Amino acid sequence: MMKITRRDFVNGVLVGSGAALLASKAPSAPASPSALTGQVGDEWYGYGGVGDYSSSHGNTPEVTNTAHNIRNGKFADLPRNMPVDEEYDLVIVGGGMAGLGAAWHFKKHAGPGRRCLVLENHPIFGGESKENVFEVEGERLLGPQGANGFFIPPEASDPEQAEGDARYYAEFNIPRNLDYRELSADFKSLRICKDNYGFSHWMFERHYDTGYFYETPGGNTWVKNPWSNQLTDVPISPAQRQALTDWRESYLELPQNENNRRYLDSITYKDLLERKFKLDSIVAQYADDFLGGNYGQGSDVISAYAAQAVNMPGTMPEEQVRQYWQASEDPVNRRQSFPGGNSGYARYFLKHINPEAIAGDNNFDDIITGNINFNALDREGQSVRIRLRSTVVSVEHEGDPDKAGRVNVLYTRAGKLYRIRARGVVMASGSWINKYIVKDLPTELNYAYQQFTHAPFLVANVALSNWRFLYELGITCAFWRYGTGFGVSCNIRPPMLVGNRPAPLDPDKPIVLTFYVPMHAPGLPPKAQGIQGRAKLLMTSYADYEKQIIAQLNKLFGASGFKAENDVRGIILNRWGHAYVVPTPGYLIDTPGKKAPVNVIREGFGRVRFGHSELRGWQHWGPAADEGRRAVEQLSGAI
C-alpha cells in the first residue's frame, strides 16, 4: 500500500427523429437560433414518457426560458405596490428535497391556523428527485430523472436528535428490507447494480459484472470485470496498470482533525493524486468517471476534502482501507434505489405533508406507486399548500431587513404576476437563481454566492424491448473510457418488487438502460467548464441527442446483437443546467478569519433564510431536507 504523510452523473414509441434514430451513426444537427439566444421549445424538450411525470423531465422549456429571462434582467424593474393576493406565515421557494424538508418541519411544529406556501416552478414536486415512466409491451418501466441511490441508514431511536437519512427513516417508518427481481435459474447468473452510481465507485465495482469497451488500432474490444485479474487484459501500459493498482490501495496518514480537514479542502483531488502520491495521470481519468457523476466535474476541480466525503482512494485512513478490502458484500447489498430513484423519498415527504396528495394508504407500495392527486396540493385550509408551475422572480423585505415585519414575494404563473406577503421566507431554490431574485441580498452574501460553481448534467433513460445484447456479453453495466461519443457509462438495474405491477427481469423482456452524462472539460477553470457544458446542453436538440445515443449503442453493442429498430422503444432526456454545486477548494471549510461561502449563506439575513442542498457540497436527499429544516428553525422567532 502507498501512504502519505504530512508532506495532499410517446408511450413506447420514439418521437424525435424517427428515420435518424434507426440509421444515424454521428450527430450533426446544429442548434436552432432560439437555443443560441437561451430560448428553447418543445423540439428541444422531446418525449416525456407517460403518467404523472410526463410533463416534467429535467428542466422544462418554461423553466429554462424564465430562468434566462430572470438572469437577463427582464424582471429587474417590478411594481412595488401591486395588490397583495395572499398572506402566509412562511413561503418556501422551491419544492425539491430541501423545500419538502422545510415544509414538513413547518407542518409538524406550526400551531393552529399557521399557513405555509411552497412555490415550485416545475409541473411536479421533487427537484431532481423525480422519475421517468415508460409503457413497453404492457410493462411499466421506471427510471430516475436525476438523484438516485442510497444506503439504508442506521436506526435512530430518537428521530428529533438524528440527522439526515436516519431521521426521516425513523419519522416516516420507511422500510429497510427491499426486494428485487432476480434472474431465473434458466439464465446464467449476472451481478446487477441496484442503482446508477455504485458500479462506478472503486469500492463496489468488483461486485458487479462490468464491461470496459476500448477502441484500439486492432479493433474494438470488451474487457469484462478487468479488476478480477488486476487489469491484465486492459490495453494500457504496465506503468499505468501499476499506478491504478497503487491508487486503489492508497491511504492517508493524517489525523481526522480540523486542521487537516482545512488542508484537504485547500487542494484538489488531482493535486493529491499527482503531486503528493506521484501517480500517473491515468488515475485522475479513472477517478473522474465517478466524480463527474457525483459532483458534475472531476478531480482537477473538486477538493480533496470533497473526495474524502465519497471515500475516494488516498483520502481515508489505513484502517478504513483495510476494512474495505476485507469486507464481505454486505456494503453492496445495502446499496439501494427505488424504481424512480429518489422520487421515492420526495413522495414520502409529500404523503406526510398532505396525506391526500398521493392515492392510497400510508404504506410503502401506495406511496411509491400511487397516482398524484394534483388537485389536493393547493387547497384552501391546508397548513401547507404546494403551488406548481410558479416561478418566483422577486423576494424583498418591506423596508430595512433588520426591522421589516414582512417580506414581499412576487411570482409568475401562466403568464400572470402575483404578490404574496410573508412573515418569513426560506429560499430552498438553487444559488444560481437566488442571487438574482433576492433583491436586497447583502453584499457579503452576494459575494459568497459568487464563489459557487455549478455543473450541468444529463440523464438519459432508454426504454428497451430486451437486453439480450448485454446478456450475451455477460455484463450489466459498461464503461467506455478514453473514447469519444455519448457519455462515459450506462447500466441496467433490477426492478424492485413494489406495487401490483413489478417489471420483469429477463434478457428478452423490456428494461430501462440509463446513461448518466457529466459535461466536464478537464483543464478548463471550473466556471468555464460549467459554461461550456451548459451551452452544449442548451444547444443540442432532442433529435440530435437521439442520434448520439443510438450511434453510441450501435458502436458498443452492435456486434453482440443490438438492433435499434427492434430494441429501442423510447428515449427521455432529463437536462439539468445547474445539477450540481462543485465543491472546489475553500468552498466547505472555514479558515482562520474567513468563513467558507456555505457558512456565510447559512446565516441568512432579516426574515430570509437559505436552505438548499448545495450547502452540503455532497448533495443527497437527507442532508438536503436537513438544510430546509435548519432554515425554518432559524426563522422560528419570526414566523
Cell numbers describing residue 409: 414575494
**Contacts of residue 492, Cβ cutoff 8 Å, sequence gap at least 6:** 192, 467, 470, 476, 477, 511, 512, 513, 514
Residue 17 has pLDDT above 70, yes or no: no
The terminus-to-terminus CA distance of the chain in angstroms comes to 56
Q: CA neighbours within 13 Å on the CB side: how many for 479?
A: 24
Nearest CA to 631 out of 608, 599, 609 is that of: 609
How is 586-609 classified by DSSP, letter by letter?
A: TSSS-BTTB--HHHHHHH-BTTEE
Range name among 6-20, 23-37, 260-274 with the lowest pLDDT average: 6-20
Cα(156)–Cα(154) distance, integer angstroms: 6
Q: What is the pLDDT of residue 484?
A: 73
Q: What is the pLDDT of residue 333?
A: 66
Cell numbers describing residue 8: 495532499
How is 134-167 classified by DSSP, letter by letter?
A: EEETTEEEEEESS---EEPPPP-S-GGG--HHHH
Q: What is the pLDDT of residues 600-616, one digit of tens each?
A: 999 999 999 999 999 99
Q: What is the pLDDT of residue 474?
A: 98
Q: Are 624 and 97 in contact (CB under 8 A)?
A: yes
Cα(519)–Cα(302) distance, integer angstroms: 14
Q: What percent of the chain has pLDDT over 90?
A: 83
Q: What is the pLDDT of residue 21?
A: 38
Residue 222 has pLDDT above 80, yes or no: yes
For residue 172, the cross-strand partners are none
pTM, two decimals, is 0.93
Residue 76 has pLDDT above 60, yes or no: yes
- H-helix segments, 97-145: 97-109
Top pLDDT among 241 and 29 is at 241
C-alpha pair distances (Å), 14 with each of 17, 147, 463: 8, 24, 10
Q: What is the pLDDT of residues 139-153, one digit of tens each?
A: 999 999 999 999 999
Residue 10 has pLDDT above 50, yes or no: no
Where are the domain boundaries for CATH 3.50.50.60 in the chain? Answer: 75-125+377-452+584-634
Q: Are 385 and 371 in contact (CB under 8 A)?
A: no
Cα(573)–Cα(23) distance, integer angstroms: 20
Cell numbers describing residue 372: 398524484
The CATH class of 75-125+377-452+584-634 is: alpha beta
Q: What is the pLDDT of residues 49-66, one digit of tens each?
A: 999 999 999 999 999 999
Q: What is the pLDDT of residues 166-188, one digit of tens each?
A: 999 999 999 999 999 999 999 99
- 237 burial level (CB within 10 Å; 0-12, 13-18, 19+): exposed
Q: Are 517 and 459 in contact (CB under 8 A)?
A: yes
Residue 35 has pLDDT above 50, yes or no: no
The backbone region for 121, taken as left when phi is positive above 0, alpha when psi lies in -120 to 50, beta otherwise, is alpha
Q: What is the pLDDT of residue 78?
A: 87
Cell numbers describing residue 558: 452492435
Residue 42 has pLDDT above 60, yes or no: yes
Q: What is the pLDDT of residue 9?
A: 23
User: Which range in 86-95, 155-164, 276-285, 479-488 is most confidently predicted, on average pLDDT?
Assistant: 86-95
Q: Count the Cβ atoms, other than its own, within 10 Å of residue 323.
A: 12
Q: What is the pLDDT of residue 7?
A: 26
Residue 44 has pLDDT above 80, yes or no: yes
DSSP code, position 199 = G
- 239 burial level (CB within 10 Å; 0-12, 13-18, 19+): exposed
Nearest CA to 413 out of 380, 436, 438, 391 is that of: 391
pLDDT (mean) for 530-541? 96
Q: What is the pLDDT of residue 36?
A: 41
Top pLDDT among 484 and 196 is at 196
Q: What is the pLDDT of residue 5?
A: 28
- 257 burial level (CB within 10 Å; 0-12, 13-18, 19+): exposed
Phi/psi for 243 (5° steps) reads -65, -40
> What is the CA angle 244-245-250, rounded to 5?
95
Q: What is the pLDDT of residue 327?
A: 64
Q: What is the pLDDT of residues 285-333, one digit of tens each?
A: 999 989 999 999 999 999 999 999 999 999 988 888 777 776 655 555 6
Q: Are 591 and 262 in contact (CB under 8 A)?
A: yes
